[in-house]
Structure 1
Amino acid sequence: MTIRSPRFPLTLAALLIAGTAAVAETGIKTGESTLGAVLTNADGMTLYTFDKDEGGASACYDDCATNWPPLMAAEGAAAEGDYGLTERTDGTMQWTYKGMPLYTWVKDAAPGDVTGDGVKEVWHAAKP
């Protein structure tokens, strides 16, 4: 005998909406590039990770952060799933993906550009 709950569709819908809200809150999307799928910011610009970041903390400040702007989180943003937050030395929050802080690259001119991938062999396009 199968019993169907009228609440199940509402529960499933609530889960789908919650997942969408988390991604919407980060502004992080998936975009296409010559490297295949990459994570992007809300404007479609490729996001990168930095090999020198350790323990989920950013090691990119001063001139580094000028060239590799951190993907900043709005005040009150909440981590969920693979998307997390790390506190920068000035107290602001930066988005992370699977524990790695995320950045853009000033030399990328348009969505889909991946000119930062492989810079100094320590910068990598973030992939979903």
Structure 2
Amino acid sequence: MLSRRLLCIVTVACSPAALAQPVEDADGRLTDPAGRVLYTFDRDSAGASACKDECAVQWPPFSAQADTSAKPAFPLLRRDDGRLQWAHHGKPLYYFVGDVKPGQASGDGLGGTWHVARTRPAATPDGGPDYSPKGY
């Protein structure tokens, strides 16, 4: 099990997609260019990651190359180990090792502190109308 996790981390950390900037999908979720969903962590402070050691094994940082140019909505943060990490409005971005295919978001809501990174709120779960009838 541990070797599978390490393989996933090495694959994520070494893939070209892990070195490109975040992308917004049709639902407003942030992904890497390969479609792997990105997450934020409630315990992070703006501009700093609180996810280290074992946490970073389960939630690998979405890394950036040293020569990458940041964008206003996607700044780069320097982690304690010196690596650069993408952020969305100052919140560091991560992968979840439990997601094994593009678009999968099985880490959303875990521990009440991990959330899919979004550029806009999620659509209503029931797909109900987004209007109020006149007089109600």
| Equivalent residue number for residue 8 of structure 1 | none
CA distance in structure 2 between the partners assigned to 1:83 and 1:37 by the alignment: 15
- Residue type of the alignment partner of 2:22: I
What residue number does 2:62 align with?
A: 71
TM-score (structure 1 length as normaliser): 0.74
- Give the Å deviation of 1:58: 0.4
- Name whichever structure is richer in strand by fraction: 1
For residues 95-115 of structure 1, give each alpha carbon's deviation from its aligned partner in whole angstroms, at most 9, with x where no partner exists: 001110000100011111111
CA distance in 1, matches of 2:86, 2:99: 19
Instruction: Tell whether 2:84 aligns with 1:90.
Output: no
The reply to whether residue 29 of structure 1 matches residue 19 of structure 2 is no
Q: In the alignment, is residue 109 of structure 1 matched against residue 103 of structure 2?
A: no
- Tell me the residue number matched to 1:119: 110
Matched-pair contact (CA < 8 Å) for 2:36–2:95: yes
Question: Counterpart of 1:58 in structure 2: which amino acid?
Answer: S
1:25-65 superposed Cα distances (whole Å, 9 cap, x missing partner): 84311225xxx331001221000000000131001111100
Q: State the distance in 2 between where 1:37 and 1:107 align.
A: 21
Q: Quote the Cα distance in structure 2 between the aligned partners of 1:125 and 1:95.
A: 14
**2:55 corresponds to which letter in structure 1?**
C
RMSD: 1.4
Poorly superposed stretches of 4+, deviation over 6 Å: none
Same amino acid, percent of matched pairs = 42
Q: Which structure: larger Rg? A: 1
2: CA distance, partners of 1:26 / 1:90: 20
Are 1:31 and 1:112, in contact at CA under 8 Å, matched by a contact in 2?
A: no
Gap regions ≥5 residues in structure 1: 1-24
TM-score, normalised to structure 2's length? 0.70
